[in-house]
């Protein structure tokens, strides 16, 4: 959608209908953000009431906000009564652009008024909040790139100009961060907007094809081919959108971690932790949305095989025993020796979603996992003593975005896709899911899978293999204690990490985090450039001649004729096959997982928390413990 477009003239009928529909959707849904912004404005006014500044500097923009919102409220009432016709398209789109421009400008003026009297910690917090605001505007208005542009540019440019005008190093750096964030925000918004528009056009074209097929039976073959092509394009769109949206989120998580050493007050650290929590929630939401898209696009295969439930039980026990303990709940796992014929990935994903749902809606009591034999079937059950489900909601809990107890649509309660994913996965194979519930007493979700009886009972008796299974379960149940930032900072000068990443922002952000924790980084976009970067470190005396890098981190999609695994193989040829290697990707398919395991490469999924990456680097490069004297004897 062009910024200057104020008329539907010159567009095809489908494009005109799409633009008019998108404009109606904008006026129908965008006013919902005013409530959250009003709450934020009131909270901000309460927090800065004692700051040493002339209050009119921020009160006037705040009053401007209220004026704009009041005007928008009147326009929304008129919209709900009469709607938007083709003849009124230009007026309503101009009003939409003016509204978001003024909104972004007012927030920018408030930030400019607060920056001169803000402490360094508050300045960092304001900059981080503005970056999140810019990306939020982009995500909410992603269907109209012009609105995303006028809503983000004023606030970020005003604050960046104010910081640059201070003529000192830290302010100039923050101004640069804002400008880079603005460019990234606009680039991602434009890219995803184009793909979204193409997808909408394809949807309307497919609707036209359905009508045409009813009238022209002799064109069934041609219409089927076009529909299959549209499905492939839709799958490619979701894959591209997944990568494009994960990249800036990955950068934001790394940069938020890099801010930690610069914020020393408890209040600033608390705000930074909240920011990181919000980013983690945003990443989880994206992951759930794109997984639903993968299932709908039939990119998740169902492959049944003989599976012992004991191994899956051990993995779930190690995860949910800790989660329940952190929530103050009792965790009960009934041991089982049953074997089933099912897809292990699908069944485990179903049970994990059901268990997460049980923990979320259980305030006290217990969560229980068990398996029961029922003739040729095994019934896997998840019990909880939570709030239960009202009778009128039981037929809707598996619908997309339905949340019986989240009328306020709080982001902390998720998107309402957990049980929708369960429904989709259950339809892939013979794994029907049923639910029993009593309001205020709890719920029981049951998953039925085909039972498999091993050829010999010795295969599942404790005497034959119970010791090894128990040892494996105990090994899986041991939690890994994350290293704190202070511990990581204390272990400085550990070695050189070779970083292969073609995105300069991701490469710079990752290098910054690693360097803050004592690593030397040889970063490059290609394997050949990485070799040159290592040689440059040796020439500068920062790496002794003859030494080898300590680890290798590579992105998978490098935009080259080779991928990340090929780059790792090429660099291992130079530095040794035992070099610890990590592969970062936003699309970990089953084939890639197997290929990485065969190459002895640890697969990490974007976005990744900086602390986890640092911990895995430390574990992989830690020296092996010396043998005991008793062992030597």
Tens digits of residue pLDDT in 99-153: 888 888 888 888 888 888 888 888 888 878 877 777 777 777 766 777 878 888 8
Q: Look at residue 457 in the predicted model and tell me its pLDDT.
A: 44
> Given a cut of 60, is residue 408 above it in pLDDT?
no
Q: Coil, helix or strand for 559?
A: coil
Are 208 and 230 in contact by the 8 Å Cβ rule? The answer is no
pLDDT band at 631 (very low <50, low <70, confident <90, very high): very low
Quick one: angle between helices 13-29 and 56-82, nearest 10? 130
What are the sequence ranges of the domains in the chain?
13-296, 305-477, 485-621
DSSP state for residue 482 in the 8-state scheme: P
User: Residue range 422-432: average pLDDT?
Assistant: 84
Lowest mean pLDDT among 52-56, 158-162, 395-399: 395-399
> Given a cut of 50, is residue 632 above it in pLDDT?
no
Tokens of 274: 């909240």
pLDDT band at 51 (very low <50, low <70, confident <90, very high): confident
Are 420 and 399 in contact by the 8 Å Cβ rule? The answer is yes
Q: What percent of the chain has pLDDT over 70?
A: 76
For the stretch 583-624, pLDDT in tens is 988 765 667 788 888 889 988 887 777 888 888 888 887 765
DSSP state for residue 466 in the 8-state scheme: I
Q: Which residues of 152-177 are buried (b: 16+ CB within 10 A; e: fewer)?
A: bbbbbbbbbebbbeeeeeebeebbeb
Highest mean pLDDT among 67-76, 179-188, 508-517: 67-76
Number of neighbours of residue 460 by Cβ within 10 angstroms:
19
Are 337 and 460 in contact by the 8 Å Cβ rule? The answer is yes
Tokens of 99: 């509204």
Q: Look at residue 71 in the predicted model and tell me its pLDDT.
A: 92
For the stretch 440-459, pLDDT in tens is 889 999 999 999 876 544 44
Mean pLDDT taken over the chain? 77
Distance CA 249, CA 170 (A): 24
Name residue, tokens 């911990």. 615
DSSP states of 253-268: HHHHHHTGGG--SHHH
Lowest mean pLDDT among 33-37, 51-55, 283-287: 283-287
Rounded (5°) CA angle 481-486-491: 90
Tokens of 571: 């660099």
Distance CA 137, CA 139 (A): 6
Rg (CA), the chain: 28
Q: Look at residue 240 in the predicted model and tell me its pLDDT.
A: 56
Name residue, tokens 């409220």. 73
pLDDT band at 479 (very low <50, low <70, confident <90, very high): very low
List the beta bridge partners of residue 379. Answer: 372, 448
Are 601 and 581 in contact by the 8 Å Cβ rule? The answer is yes
Q: E strands, 167-314, where?
A: 305-308
Which distant-in-sequence residues (6+ apart) come within 8 Å of 148 by Cβ?
137, 138, 141, 142, 185, 186, 189, 193
Structurally, at CATH architecture level, domain 485-621 sits in 3-Layer(aba) Sandwich (3.40)
Say what the pTM is.
0.39
Q: Which residues of 104-126 are buried (b: 16+ CB within 10 A; e: fewer)?
A: bbbbbbbbbbbbeebeebbbbbb
Tokens of 219: 């064109």
Tokens of 48: 């800065």
CATH entry, 305-477, from 3.30.70.260, 3.30.565.10, 2.70.98.50, 3.30.70.940: 3.30.565.10
> Given a cut of 60, is residue 276 above it in pLDDT?
yes
> Given a cut of 50, is residue 467 above it in pLDDT?
no
Distance CA 131, CA 180 (A): 10
623 HSE (CA, 13 A, CB side) = 5
Q: Look at residue 339 in the predicted model and tell me its pLDDT.
A: 92
Nearest one of 40, 85, 78 to 62, comparing CA atoms: 40
Tokens of 616: 């895995």
Tell me how long the chain is.
633
Which distant-in-sequence residues (6+ apart) come within 8 Å of 627 by Cβ?
none
Q: Look at residue 594 in the predicted model and tell me its pLDDT.
A: 80
Are 314 and 477 in contact by the 8 Å Cβ rule? The answer is yes
State how far Cα 204 lies from the chain centre. 29
Contacts 24+ apart (CB under 8 A), 386-392: 386/358, 386/361, 386/362, 386/442, 386/443, 387/361, 387/362, 387/363, 387/439, 387/440, 388/437, 388/438, 388/439, 388/440, 388/441, 388/442, 388/443, 389/435, 389/437, 389/439, 389/443, 390/439, 391/439
């Amino acid at each position: 959608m062009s910024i200057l477009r104020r008329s539907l003239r010159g567009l095809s009928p489908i494009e005109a209908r799409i633009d008019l529909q998108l404009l109606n959707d904008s006026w129908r849904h965008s006013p919902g953000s005013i409530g959250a912004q009003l709450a934020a404005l009131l909270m901000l006014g309460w927090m800065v009431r004692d700051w040493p500044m002339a209050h009119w500097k921020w009160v006037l923009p705040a009053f401007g906000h209220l004026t704009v919102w009041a005007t928008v409220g009147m326009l929304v009432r008129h919209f709900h009564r009469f709607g938007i016709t083709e003849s009124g398209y230009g007026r309503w789109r101009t009003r939409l652009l003016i509204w978001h421009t003024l909104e972004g400008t007012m927030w920018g003026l408030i930030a400019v008024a607060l920056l001169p009297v803000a402490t360094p910690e508050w300045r960092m917090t304001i900059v981080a909040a503005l970056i999140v605001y810019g990306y939020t505007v982009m995500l909410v208005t992603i269907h109209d790139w012009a609105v995303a542009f006028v809503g983000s540019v004023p606030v970020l440019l005003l604050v960046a100009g104010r910081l640059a005008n201070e003529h000192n190093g830290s302010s100039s750096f923050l101004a640069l961060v804002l400008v880079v964030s603005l460019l990234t925000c606009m680039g991602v918004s434009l890219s995803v907007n184009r793909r979204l528009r193409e997808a909408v056009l394809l949807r309307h074209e497919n609707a036209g094809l359905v009508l045409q097929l009813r009238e022209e039976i002799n064109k069934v073959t041609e219409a089927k081919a076009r529909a299959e092509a549209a499905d492939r394009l839709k799958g490619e769109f979701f894959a591209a959108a997944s990568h494009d949206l994960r990249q800036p989120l990955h950068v934001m998580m790394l940069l938020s971690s890099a801010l930690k050493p610069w914020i020393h007050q408890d209040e600033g650290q608390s705000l930074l932790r909240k920011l990181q929590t919000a980013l983690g929630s945003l990443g989880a939401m994206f992951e759930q949305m794109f997984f639903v898209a993968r299932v709908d696009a039939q990119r998740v295969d169902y492959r049944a095989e003989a599976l012992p439930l004991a191994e899956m039980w051990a993995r779930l026990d190690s995860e949910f025993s800790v989660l329940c303990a952190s929530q103050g709940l009792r965790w009960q796992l009934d041991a089982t020796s049953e074997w089933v014929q099912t897809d292990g990935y699908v069944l485990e994903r179903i049970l994990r979603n059901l268990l997460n749902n049980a923990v979320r809606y259980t305030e006290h009591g217990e969560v229980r996992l068990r398996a029961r034999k029922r003739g040729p079937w095994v019934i896997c059950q998840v019990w909880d003593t939570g709030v239960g489900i009202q009778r009128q909601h039981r037929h809707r809990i598996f619908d997309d975005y339905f949340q019986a107890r989240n009328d306020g649509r709080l982001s902390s309660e998720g998107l309402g896709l957990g049980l929708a994913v369960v429904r989709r996965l259950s339809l892939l194979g013979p794994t029907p899911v049923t639910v029993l519930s009593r309001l205020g007493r709890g719920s029981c979700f049951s998953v039925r899978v085909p039972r498999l009886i091993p050829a010999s009972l010795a295969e599942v008796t404790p005497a034959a293999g119970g010791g090894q299974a128990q040892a494996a379960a105990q090994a899986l149940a041991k939690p890994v204690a994350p290293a704190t930032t202070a511990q990581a900072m204390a272990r400085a000068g550990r070695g050189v990490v070779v970083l292969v990443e073609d995105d300069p922002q991701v490469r710079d952000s990752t290098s910054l985090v690693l360097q803050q924790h004592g690593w030397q980084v040889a970063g490059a976009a290609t394997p050949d450039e990485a070799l040159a970067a290592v040689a440059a470190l040796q020439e500068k005396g920062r790496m002794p001649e003859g030494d080898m890098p300590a680890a290798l981190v590579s992105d998978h999609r490098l935009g080259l004729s080779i991928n990340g695994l090929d780059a790792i193989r090429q660099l291992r040829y130079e530095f040794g096959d035992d070099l610890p290697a990590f592969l970062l990707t936003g699309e970990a398919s089953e084939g890639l997982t197997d290929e990485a395991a065969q190459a002895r490469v640890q697969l990490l999924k974007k976005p990744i928390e900086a602390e986890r990456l640092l911990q895995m680097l430390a574990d992989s490069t830690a020296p092996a413990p010396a043998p005991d004297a008793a062992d030597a004897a």
